[in-house]
Amino acid sequence: MVLLSRFTRNEFNLESKSTIGVEFATRSISVEGKTVKAQIWDTAGQERYRAITSAYYRGAVGALLVYDIAKHATYVNVLRWLKELRDHADSNIVIMLVGNKSDLRHLRAVPTDEAKLFSQENGLSFIETSALDASNVENAFQTILTEIYRIVSSKQLEADPISSRPGAGSSIEITPSANDGGQNPSGKCC
């Protein structure tokens, strides 16, 4: 919730609670000279919401797996969430591991090198962020959205090399097509 608020509204609230169920926001950004409207679904990480949140994986084109660098238990849960994604999401989903609260260096419980190695072993990109001081938040979203944009654009070009190309100044909305079969039109994240 705090990363979503920081990215979409540039807000941070110390009183923010964990996501209950699902939160949703949008933001348009420029990617390679095109306007991309990201539809971002923040799903709860708690076990009790697992049945609800796994439905949002279908049709997702990207996902941020976020853990708290000061709470090792949140990092341990990443393995389960990654398995959930791989079981329920499209095989081409772009996944980024995000260690949040990098401002709490003095309370670090998850070594950066350990998370980097996990990311490499599992084909994920990796970044550490701080929603509090906004460090790397923009970079995290820009990176994953750029990768998604490139994949979506290349699929469009493969399908129809001429008519599918986005024209100068056109917008591309990164959402799955209606025939993807998911109940949710935009998936979990991005």
With beta carbons less than 8 A apart as the criterion, state whether 40 and 56 touch.
no
Strand, helix or coil for residue 14: coil
Domain boundaries of the chain, sorted by first residue: 1-155
In DSSP terms, 126 is beta-bridged to 97
| Eight-state DSSP code of residue 29 | E
Q: What is the pLDDT of residues 9-22, one digit of tens each?
A: 877 777 665 555 56
**What is the overall mean pLDDT for the chain?**
79
Cα 156 from Cα 145, distance rounded (Å) = 16
Residue ranges for the chain with pLDDT beneath 70: 1, 15-22, 44-56, 156-190
Q: Three-class SS of residue 52? A: helix
Can you name the CATH fold of 1-155? Rossmann fold (3.40.50)
Buried b (16+ CB within 10 A) or exposed e, 110-139: beeeebbebbeeeebbbbbbbbbeebbbee
- pLDDT score recorded for residue 52: 57
